[in-house]
Amino acid sequence: MASIQPDDHESYMRLALELAQKSPPKPTNYRVGAVLVDLNTNAILATGYTLELSGNTHAEQCCLMKLAQEHGVNEEDLARVLPSHMALYTTVEPCSKRLSGNLPCTERVRRLAGSLRIVYVGVSEPETFVSHNTGKQLLQDSGISVVHVPGSESRILEVATAGHIKDKPDIQA
């Protein structure tokens, strides 16, 4: 992968979208990609995509689980070992509720408030599975800015919803 320049939000979002395409299409989840970046060094700390790791894992969750393993800490303790100025790029807004019972991605991200300063999103979470996602507001309430990166919305939604059952036209017998 070629180096991405600092503040090239579109390129980081394209990378997240490439990751999302690795996720298997299913009717019960969105295919999402995520990239965690150290803003001081412009280094990519971790990447993730939906269902990359075992279990019903989301993209942001995979990023953080891999980082925790790399640093030999529990995910809850990541803030102690990570850089002080990070950004997360994610194709779809982090979830605020998990129907599976897993910890929502918004809560995982909020644990890093203070060092994770900004979340860049490609699209807001569609209301297919959970209506009224409060992720953006919860992140902002924790001091984490949420910024929309425009330009790839239709492609992100196309990838995110691959595998979903689309409305079919009536078939006349």
Task: Write out the catalytic residue numbers.
Answer: 60
Q: Name the burial class of residue 55, with classes exposed (0-12), middle (13-18) and buried (19+) by CB atoms within 10 angstroms of its CB.
A: exposed
Instruction: Determine the Cα–Cα distance for residues 123 and 113; give it in Å rounded to an integer.
Output: 21
Beta-sheet pairing, 33-38 with 43-49 = antiparallel
With a CB cutoff of 8 Å and minimum separation 6, the contacts of 76 are 111
- For residue 79, the 8-state DSSP code is G
Structure tokens at 62: 């995979």
- Taking the C-alpha atoms of residue 28 and residue 41, their distance in angstroms, rounded to an integer, is 37
